[in-house]
Amino acid sequence: QVQLVESGGGLVQPGGSLRLSCAASGMTLSNTSLGWYRQAPGNQRESVAFISSGGTTNYANSVKGRFTISRDNAKNTVFLQMNNLRPEDTAVYYCNRPYPRFDWGQGTQVTVSS
């Protein structure tokens, strides 16, 4: 069974940066696409960024130009570099495979506030 463990969240001021990590165990993920998702209070979970097994990336319009997704297949880990953070980026961030989904991890809280 695949376990996903997200980390790297925290409290940051607007304009600041954070780097999230998602470590997977139980399966080698080098041949699968991976994505980052987020869920703000009262909102549905939404997709943020994806990276294919070959390294092709795509992003939600709201984060394009500010966030960068990357992966380290040797470490079975996917990253999300978040720059120029805004208060509306505040959410719990999760990683997962687009389809079929694994069980969700616990996520990592990102709070952008002055």
Phi, psi dihedral angles at 46 (to 5 degrees)? -130, 155
Name the percent of the chain lying above pLDDT 90: 95
Cβ–Cβ < 8 Å for 60, 23? no
> CB 88: neighbour CB atoms within 10 A?
10
The answer on pLDDT for 65 being more than 90 is yes
Average pLDDT of the segment spanning 4-26: 97
In this prediction, residue 46 carries a pLDDT of 97
Q: Where are the beta strands (DSSP E) in the chain?
A: 3-7, 10-12, 18-25, 34-39, 46-51, 57-59, 67-72, 77-82, 91-96, 108-112
Model pLDDT, residue 19? 98
- 8 A C-beta contact, residue 35 and residue 97: yes
- The answer on pLDDT for 1 being more than 90 is no
* Arithmetic mean of pLDDT, 16-43: 94
Give me the pLDDT at residue 40, please.
Answer: 96
Q: Which two tokens stand for residue 45?
A: 């979970």
Residue 85 has pLDDT above 90, yes or no: yes
Q: What is the mean pLDDT of the chain?
A: 96
pLDDT of residue 29: 86
